[in-house]
Amino acid sequence: MSKEGDIVEVIKSDNSKIKGILMHSHSKDSNVVKLSSGYNLAINKNKIKNITILKKLSKNKKEKIKIKHKKGLKTVAVLHTGGTIASEVDYETGAVTPRFSPEELIEMFPEIEEIINVKSRLIANISSEDMNFSHYNLLAKEIEKEVKEKVDGIIITHGTDTMHYTSAALSFILENLDIPVVLVGSQRSSDRGSTDAKINLISAARFIAETDFSEVTICMHENMEDKTCLIFPACKVRKMHTSRRDAFKTVNVKPWARVHYKDRVEILDSRFRKKENRKLKLNLFKENLKVGFLKAHPNMKADEIRMYSNFDGLVLEGYGMAGNLPINKTDKLTAENEMILNELKKLASKIPVLAVSQTIFGKINMNVYSTGRLMQEIGILGNLLDMTPETAFIKLAWLLSNHPTQVKELLSHNLRGELSIRLNETDFIE
């Protein structure tokens, strides 16, 4: 009789055949088979003619790996925050089970042992969409502990949805960082044949091992092939696709490096910070801070602006080159726009209101159109800046936490590489 974990061939009543691993089913009316693609397929039992066992699940107890510290290799702390990158499938439950210990990590990715010495521990098992300022502070404090332990670098496993928020946040918090902090995620879970977990993690390890980089960065697939990963500037990167393995792209700049995960690192832009024996200082977020994020859209209402009257700051994601907002009354059908303008004027007199563009690439220029000039007149900030909306949100929150009286001045200062010195026409998504 077949059991969960067995490799089976299912012959359906129409004589079609399905091969895969038999999984736990939550329904008594169906069998679940994990296909070679990694997807699970539920098959109604009434449509099954026969199930043949091709290979029984081996229950042999694995011998525990013993880790030996190797001379000449850098020591890297792997801090886990959840996500699918360091996990494996449990065939009896169908769940993807986290694996956080150094032994488990090396068992899953044995190549790492030849590149770095691994320390590994769980910080928070949390989905990235649930993270907030408190988690950024928690991560920063754990990074500080590892720095005091004299590790040579840190890898943070992280869910991909908000990884670019976290990379920006850590860049601002970690002043005088003197080791690499590399965030790594996985777009495809480890039980799928198309998983990117292995190559992303190994590439992050190789990058730390072979460079003197000392900033925060993200390491993810360069393209759909399993050959290279890119090292992205922490404040100039964005997730641009829901599911592709090459979902992360730089904005207005080039990546720092390309990692050929099997053998070498290719530097693409050497203007990153290098090790200089700096002393780390933490500039944490104020955790009870309220910073809003509002996207401009047709048929916008003044009440939407009014909702942020009790907030500490607001990022407005407007249209086009100037981050334009619907604030011009041009006829009787646009009377609401005048009310939006008045609400923005009142709000900007109380809290910092920062404009960014929905176009993502390029620079805000409020001097070109009358709408942008009017936005400046009422106190909206952001002119001539090229921050991504996510980095702008993080920077505003960080400035309100650490430099509340200098927000307007410091927004235009390039503190962590969040602003481009010069924009090139070639710096655009391909």
DSSP-derived letter for residue 213 is B
Category of 337 on φ-ψ map: left (φ > 0), alpha (ψ -120 to 50) or beta: alpha
Cα–Cα separations (whole angstroms), residue 187 to 196, 221, 332, 336, 360: 7, 9, 49, 42, 22
CB neighbour class for 95 (10 Å; exposed up to 12, middle 13-18, buried from 19): middle
| Under 8 Å between Cβ of 217 and 164 | no
Q: Which of 6, 81, 84, 211 is catalytic?
A: 84
- Radius of gyration of the chain from Cα atoms? 25
Residue 239 among the catalytic residues: yes
DSSP character for 349?
A: T
Element spanning 221, H or E:
strand 216-221
- Nearest CA to 376 out of 386, 387, 365 is that of 365
| 263 given a catalytic annotation | no
Set 119, 239, 249, 345: catalytic member:
239
Query: 268: which residues sit within 8 A by CB, 6+ positions away?
Result: 254, 255, 256, 257, 258
Length of the chain: 430
The residue type at 208: I
Catalytic residue among 34, 119, 157, 160: 160
The sign of the torsion formed by the CA atoms of 92, 94, 98, 104 equals positive
Active-site residue flag, 178: no
Q: Which residues pair with 231 in a beta bridge?
A: 219, 257
Whether 217 and 181 have beta carbons less than 8 Å apart is answered as yes
Using an 8 Å Cβ cutoff, are 99 and 72 in contact?
A: no
Residue with tokens 């525990």: 64
Q: What are φ and ψ of residue 175, in 5° steps?
A: -80, 135
Of the residues 90, 152, 161, 226, which is catalytic?
161
The residues assigned a catalytic role are: 84, 160-161, 239
